[in-house]
Amino acid sequence: MSSPPILGGASLFTGFTKLCKGLAVVLVAGHIVVQIFPSAVNYLALIPARTIPFAWNLLTAGYIEQSIYGVVASTLCLLIMGKLLEPVWGSKEFLKFIFIVNFLTSVCVFITAISLYYITRQENYLYMPISGFQGILAGFLVGTKQIIPDQELSLLRLKAKWFPSLMLLIAIVISFFTAESAKYLPTIIFGTYMSWIYLRYFHRKPETKLRGDPSDDFAFSSFFPEFLRPVIDPIASIFHRMLCGRFETSTEAHGHTLGGAPLPGSDPIEASRRRERGARALEERLAAERLATARSAEELKKDVSENV
């Protein structure tokens, strides 16, 4: 039996969470501020040459959309994807994910811009204002891939596990045809990678208090087509040992294994159970929204008949 499609029908624009509505207000407010006070971009956006001493732009840049198209797209995507992820992760972990991914993405973009300047000696890398929510949105797609990988987007019949890869591919292709790619492409790439690192190794599962998702279905190579995985896996394993060997040692030392066997929440079986919970939570939310829509239609029909 195929998985029910997601993001379809009248439920697309209903059932938004309070936290996501609050974050949407932050995005809209940030856009209004930079429109009324254009000079505010110099203090709120990420401008590598000014990050020191204006270090706070590593935090604020992700919430500043400079164009009306950007703020509309980011707000809608936040509300829609937030109502899928927040019920599964919990509000606290959802907010923590946004904060951490936004900060780490900004740090990586800053380091990349400084490195490109020293390599090319082009000052535009130092003074280009970089901002936008696209790095966190890329992270949301990675989260969707993790919890409901086999769900389908009703419009395209595309499984959720391919959302991050498709977004990256489209962004890279577009970058060949626009001079503005430096403002968004690094943010999308690092947003995708940092969110995967966080969810793979550090994300705390509320039900078990353990961290990470070691399942093969969420391995780094799962972002690539099947025929490339034999090439990607050996390379990824090298970086895995370099970057995360200490973390794995710490995990074992703190009792996440028992007699060589992983405790619940630290093995692929627990990851599969989490995906099942995510799919079940999604189905329950969609069913509730369909029921509410049906009731509203029935009440409207009743009112019309009474007035007649």
The answer to whether 190 and 251 are in contact (CB under 8 A) is: no
Domain count, the chain: 1
The rounded distance, in Å, linking the Cα atoms of 132 and 63 is 6
pLDDT of residue 305: 60
The answer to whether 298 and 23 are in contact (CB under 8 A) is: no
Instruction: Let me know if residue 34 belongs to a domain.
Output: yes
Q: Which residue stretches of the chain have pLDDT < 50?
A: 1-2, 4, 10, 246, 249-266
pLDDT of residue 301: 60
CA-wise closest residue to 124 among 47, 190, 40: 47
Q: What is the pTM of this model?
A: 0.77
Domain extent for 62:
18-244
The answer to whether 2 and 154 are in contact (CB under 8 A) is: no
The rounded distance, in Å, linking the Cα atoms of 204 and 183 is 32
Instruction: Let me know if residue 162 belongs to a domain.
Output: yes
pLDDT of residue 99: 96
Instruction: Let me know if residue 201 belongs to a domain.
Output: yes
pLDDT of residue 44: 93
Query: Given CA atoms 220, 140, 215, 96 in this order, what sign does their dihedral have?
Result: positive
Instruction: Let me know if residue 251 belongs to a domain.
Output: no
Could you give phi then psi for residue 6, rounded to 5 degrees? -110, 165
pLDDT of residue 238: 77
The beta-strand segments (E) located in the chain are 5-6, 152-153, 158-159, 257-258, 261-262
Tell the burial category of 32 from Cβ atoms under 10 Å away from its Cβ (0-12, 13-18, 19+).
exposed
Instruction: Let me know if residue 160 belongs to a domain.
Output: yes
The rounded distance, in Å, linking the Cα atoms of 163 and 142 is 8
pLDDT of residue 201: 86
CA-wise closest residue to 132 among 183, 208, 200, 201: 183
pLDDT of residue 250: 47
pLDDT of residue 12: 59
Instruction: Let me know if residue 303 belongs to a domain.
Output: no
pLDDT of residue 284: 61
CATH of the domain at 159: 1.20.1540.10
Instruction: Let me know if residue 4 belongs to a domain.
Output: no
Instruction: Let me know if residue 264 belongs to a domain.
Output: no
